[in-house]
Every structure is written in C-alpha cells, then in structure tokens.
Amino acid sequence: MEETKRAIEQGAVALGIEMGSTRIKAVLIGPDHKPVASGSHDWENRFENGLWTYHLDDVWKGLQDCYAKLADKVEQSYGVKLGAVQAIGISAMMHGYLAFDAQDRQLAEFRTWRNTTTEQAASALTKLFRFNIPQRWSIAHLYQAILGGEEHVKDVAFLTTLAGYVHWKLTGQKVIGVGDASGMFPIDSSTNDYDASMVEQFDTLVAEKAYPWKLKEILPKVLIAGEAAGTLTPEGARLLDPSGRLPAGIPLCPPEGDAGTGMTATNSVAQRRGNISAGTSIFAMAVLEKPLSAVYTEIDMVTTPTGKPVAMVHCNNCTSDIDAWAGLFQEFAAAMGVKYSLPQVLDAMFYKALEGDADCGGLLAYNYFSGEPITGLEEGRPLFARLPDARMSFANFARVHLYAAMATLKIGMNILFGKEKVQLDMLLGHGGFFKAKGVGQKLMAAAMGTPVSVMETAGEGGPWGIALLAAYLVRKQEGETLEDYLENKVFAGSKGESVSPDPQDVKGFETFLERYRSGLSAERAMVETLK
C-alpha cells in the first residue's frame, strides 16, 4: 500500500483508457504493471437513421466521468490525489467512420463497427485488392459513402477511428497505432504502413470523382508500439480532467484498437499465439507464421501493435443477449420480492450452464442483435426456439445462450484450424465472458477444440492492455521488443489456468452447432418478416 501510494505521488504510474461498446474503463498500473485503481462509465450506442452511432459529446462526458471515478478511487484507496502520470494510452473499439473537414468539423455521424451497411463497397474493394475488406473497416465506409454520392466526401480532410480521434484531441497529433490502422486499411507488415499498391489502386478507382484529396493524405500516420505519439496538451488535459489536476506534457503511446490491447493483455503478440476477446462482440486472433493461402471473407488480416500479421475472426454479437436475459431474470426476482444485482444473476446463469446437457437438451438460440457477415446476415433478430420435446430447464437455457455466443466464431475458426492448418501453442481468453471462473473457459475449450488459458488479469482486458503499451513507451530498454518486454517484465511468473476440451462437451457443442447451422434459415426469415 505504501509503495503504491509513493508511486502515485511520484507519478510513477501509467494510465490506460479504453472505450468499449458498453463501457469506458480507465486502469492505472504501478511500477510492477499490476492494476492499482480503475474507474468506469457505462454507455450505449444509439440506433439513429438506420445506423449504429455514438454522439461525440457522449464520448467526452464518458471519458471525464470515467477519469473522475478513477481519481476518486485513488484518493479513497490511497489517501492521495491523482496528478501526473508517466504515460497515457488511449484505446477503443476498432473500425468505423469518423470524418472531419479542414476546419476539424465532423462531417457525418460516427458510423461504428456494428453497422453492416457497406456490403457493396466491401465486396468491390475485396475484389480490387484481392484482400478481404470487411464491412466494418473504415475504407469500406468511405467507399460506400462515395458509391452513395454523399455530399460530404469531397470535404474530408481527416478520417480516423474513435481511439485516433480522442488521441488527436488530447495531443493534436493525427496518428494511429498500426493495429488500429490495420482495421482502417490493409497494412504491409514489411513497412508497417498502409499497403502502397492498394492505396494507389484506391486512388485510381475514385480518380474520376476528382476529389481534392488522395487517400494517404486523409488517413492518420501509422506508428508501432514504443514510438512517440505526442504529449498531452493543456487543452487535452482539461478535456480529460476538467478539475485541472492532470498536467500537460505527459507522453502518450500510439492509440490502439481493442484487438491490439487484447493481444497485449494476454501476452499474445508473438507468433503461434492466439487469444479470444469475448464481450459485446467476440473475436479470435492468431499471430501467423506465414500468410494464408487464400482470401476468406470470414477472416480479417490485421496486425499486432508491432505490425506482425494476424488472422482475426470477428463476430458482431456475443454477450448482449445473455445480458438481456439476465435483466429479465433480475426483474422477475424483484417481482417475487428478491433483489439481486445484475452480476449476481449473470453468475447464476453461467454456473448453472455447467449443469446443462452437453447439447443443451435440444434448445436453440441466436444472439444476433445486429448483422453477422460470417453467416450472411445484414441485420439481427435475437431468437430462442425449441422443439416440444426438448429438455427445457434453466441449466439448458443458460447453456444454449453461452453456446450461441460462441457459435459464429467457431464457424469462422474452422477455416483457420481446418483449411489453413494454423497451429497455436496457446489460446488465451479475456473479457466479460470469462469472468465466471472456469465456465466460459471450459465451454470455449469445447467449442474451439483446443486448450484455453485464462490469466488472473483476464477481467482487466483491453484497458490494462493499453496501460501496458503506455508503460512500454516510457519504461522499455534500448532495443527491447514488445514481445520481450511482456514476456520478461509483465507476465514472468504470472499465474494462469489452462483447461483442455472435455470430449463430451466437444461432442455436445458439435451437435448444437449442426442444429445452429440448420436453423439459420429461420433467423434469416425473422430478419425479413419481423420489422
């Protein structure tokens, strides 16, 4: 306690802030890289005019509230006020579309990763580049706006991600981490920059429009982990901390996406390592030894924070439907005169799921709040179904919703493990899905057919990951790689538990997945008929 207090007083702590889909979280880490305090702010995306979005005013209100709660926690826990820190890192959900003009005015609503409205553009660019361009990537949003004849495109002077936007406002620097950049436009890992030939192809494609910009001119500059990315300006300090205690001049690491921070938080930035991030969305990442043999629309090619090629299977939906059902059960309990918190109800669902039949007793669920490109759905309709003779129980009901959260990911991962024969030494899990000790891990191992490890820090996830990247910026030795820094200084001796697939669970999940695939036509019918 005294050592931590002294570190805070001396500013020998690093701050990481990540803007997730439903929560903004700040984590402060000490000299030993362990979290010493955290603060959070809950928020929700809005569905307006057919698009998923967040208002930028909500971004700053959320960041300020999150930081204020962190500062309060520090004072309550250690009896000192939070002032200067060693370094700051900003992270957020990847992809999307944030466009500004030459006067720094926002030109269109923030179009998040959750939107599946760019199929025409994504398909055309995938064919042009011979490289998979998912619908949620920034370049797909830009080209879709061009195809749609949107008036604002001619005025675009800067296009960035949410993390890139916040970093810009805090530092004045229009830069981005290579991992986050790889969700905007394809990256050439030999240069750690946007693929030059594809940039040229895009400029040629839109040349007839005679826009006053070239693509490279409007994209943020790409940086890798450990490179200087600017310092906190006086205006930026007040934006984050209106109380005025946070001083200007603090260095910031390159802003990263939640995929890169997830890899960092699970020590999965080296080759033959993989991780699964499971929260509002779910994605698995595998650091490759060699390029894939073909282009797959189900697999994104992104990078680690140092630019290594990574195969990512990304699904838009994971825990939102579980949360919705937990809210219903919480409301039911209240109607019966019993009060439970949402985390208590979620724990009950997760642990009860372990008692369910391996195949969920014949129950079926789809957790699609939004569309899923992997299964060809532009929109989602959460759906629960069962045959009259299915074994309806709370345990099976809970289990089928946990299975549904992993099903689409498994469909995509079958390509990596099956067609491409990708080998992984370890698969690490992090995020809310793994918080109930042993449950998500056991079922994920069955679904993936491979051992899954969860570290003690798994619940910290991305905010801790970006704090580690901030610490690496200022604490690394000359020539020390991020891989070595994490292995030797952060994770050395850290405890983690590995769970191997249970053969009965594996067989049960395969039975469920067969039923899941067969029922996708019903989910599509719901999208078409339930308006």
| pLDDT value, residue 459 | 56
Closest CA to 193 of 202, 203, 184: 184
| pLDDT value, residue 425 | 79
**Sign of dihedral through CA atoms 315, 274, 197, 183?**
positive
> Can you tell me whether residue 436 is helix, strand or coil?
coil
CB 189 within 8 A of CB 224: no
% of the chain beyond a pLDDT of 70: 99
Average pLDDT of the residues in 380-385: 97
**Sign of dihedral through CA atoms 286, 289, 294, 295?**
positive
Residue 63 predicted with pLDDT over 70: yes
- Straight-line distance from the first to the last Cα atom of the chain, in angstroms, rounded to the nearest whole number: 56
Domains of the chain, CATH where assigned: 95-160+185-218 (3.30.420.40), 267-457+501-531 (3.30.420.40)
Residue 448 predicted with pLDDT over 70: yes
| pLDDT value, residue 277 | 86
pLDDT by residue (tens digit) across 471-521? Answer: 999 999 999 999 999 999 998 877 678 899 999 999 999 999 999 999 999
Extract the tokens encoding 154: 């001619």
Residue 458 predicted with pLDDT over 70: no
**Tokens 């802003």 sit on residue:** 255
CB 95 within 8 A of CB 113: yes
Pairwise pLDDT comparison (423 vs 393), residue with the higher score:
393
Helix (H) or strand (E) holding 47, with range, is strand 46-48
The residues pairing with 16 across neighbouring beta strands, listed in sequence order, are 27, 89
DSSP 372-417: EGGGTEEE---EEEE-TTS---HHHHHHHHHHHHHHHHHHHHHIII
Number of H helices, E strands in the chain: 18, 24
Average pLDDT of the residues in 325-349: 98
Q: What is the mean pLDDT of the chain?
A: 95
| pLDDT value, residue 424 | 84
Average pLDDT of the residues in 115-127: 95
Closest CA to 440 of 262, 277, 259, 314: 277
Residue 225 predicted with pLDDT over 90: yes
| pLDDT value, residue 211 | 98
Average pLDDT of the residues in 82-110: 97
Residue 272 predicted with pLDDT over 90: no
Helix (H) or strand (E) holding 522, with range, is helix 520-529
Extract the tokens encoding 47: 């569905």
| pLDDT value, residue 460 | 64
Helix (H) or strand (E) holding 420, with range, is none
Closest CA to 205 of 143, 140, 160, 156: 143
* SS3 per-residue string spanning 152-171: HHHHCCEEECHHHHHHHHHH
Predicted TM-score (pTM) of the model is: 0.82
C-alpha triplet 256, 259, 263: angle, nearest 5°: 100
CA distance 403 to 247: 47
92-96, 115-119, 212-216, range with the lowest pLDDT: 115-119
